[in-house]
Structure 1
Amino acid sequence: MTEKTEVTASKTITQEILNFSNDSDVNDILNLQTEVLKKQYETNNTLNHFNEFSQQKFNQISADFEKNTKMIKEMKKDLDYIFKKTRSIHSILNEKFPNSVPQMEHIIDDEDDD
């Protein structure tokens, strides 16, 4: 019994490609592909380290930012209270001494703050 070798289009194309190239060219291509793959791994490692570093810094900065935001909100509440009290005292003084208390036109009204 003899085995028949089937000739298919893919085998023919593969054989023709192998005939066009020599071993040196194939080895050069393989070496180049290996170098590119190594560089991709190195780049991937660098990016992973950078992402980890960025995540750590973001966590640190995020906590500081949240703390500072709370502090600024508290300061705004305190300032609003101070301005309200100042206006109240000004009104009382203006009622008791209408000509001796300077007008507070430079202070912004509550409606303009928001």
Structure 2
Amino acid sequence: MQQSSTSMTTSDFECFQNYTSSEVFVHQLAGLVNPQDISTIIRNQKQMLQRFEKTNEMLLNVNQLSQSRLSNITEEYKKNSKLLIEMKKDLEYIFKKIRTIKSKMEAKYPEAFEQAKRQNMQNLEETDENDEENINYEQLESIKNIDNIDNDAMEALDS
């Protein structure tokens, strides 16, 4: 039986006498690999590394920009939410005052108040007949629910 060209003779091992078996294996393996292929692989890896570094840098920039915009928008949202809550409180105060004035007027001038109330109701009915956009009370209830949610959200933001 003929020995293959890759098999080694004892004379081939004489040059590796001072090496360990793992070192001999590495030297043998290095002889099997084409150096040109290795340089091509290394070049491709360097190109990919450069691309990944550029991509990473761009992602970091996008992340910083997003973070700054989020910070700005969060502050603006807090300010606007506080303004809306303040406006709601002001409107509630105004309506409370109007109710107080109405009750005082009703107590002081009951006949005139009833007459004004009837006249106001007639005007409202005429307006409703002519108005294409009637108030949707379900929408008003949903708006109240949204107000409650917004109050809860503001309390969460403040804490």
The alignment's TM-score, normalised by the length of structure 2, stands at 0.53
Q: Distance in 1 between the 2:42 and 2:49 partners?
A: 10
Q: What's the offset of the Cα at 1:42? A: 0.2
> Which SS does the other structure have where 1:28 is aligned?
helix
Residues 1:35 and 2:73 aligned together: no
Q: Which amino acid aligns with 1:63?
A: E
CA gap 1:89/1:38 in 2 versus in 1, 3 angstroms: same
Where structure 1 has 5 or more consecutive residues not aligned to the other structure, the ranges are: none
Moved more, 82-91 or 70-79: 82-91
Q: What's the offset of the Cα at 1:93? A: 3.7
| Runs of at least 4 residues off by over 4 Å | none
Q: Distance in 1 between the 2:53 and 2:69 partners?
A: 24
Q: What's the offset of the Cα at 1:13? A: 4.2
Q: Which amino acid aligns with 2:21?
A: T
CA gap 1:8/1:89 in 2 versus in 1, 3 angstroms: farther
Q: Which amino acid aligns with 1:17?
A: L
Write the mapping of 1:41-52 to structure 2, written as runs, cut at 5 A.
41-52=53-64
Choose between structure 1 and 2: higher helix proportion. Answer: 2
What residue is the counterpart of 2:129 in the other structure? Answer: none
Residues 1:17 and 2:32 aligned together: no
Where structure 2 has 5 or more consecutive residues not aligned to the other structure, the ranges are: 1-16, 122-136, 149-159
Deviations 1:4-58 (A, max 9, x none): 513233x244334323320111011101110110011101110121122223222
The partner residue of 1:87 within 99, 104, 107 is: 99
The alignment's TM-score, normalised by the length of structure 1, stands at 0.70
Identity, in percent, stands at 29
The partner residue of 1:56 within 43, 68, 71 is: 68
What residue is the counterpart of 1:6 in the other structure? Answer: 19
Q: What's the offset of the Cα at 1:63? A: 2.5
Q: Which amino acid aligns with 1:6?
A: Y
Q: Distance in 1 between the 2:21 and 2:105 partners?
A: 106
C-alpha RMSD over aligned residues: 3.0
Structure exhibiting the larger radius of gyration computed from Cα positions: 2
Larger RCO (alpha carbons 8 Å, 6+ apart): 2
CA gap 1:32/1:87 in 2 versus in 1, 3 angstroms: same
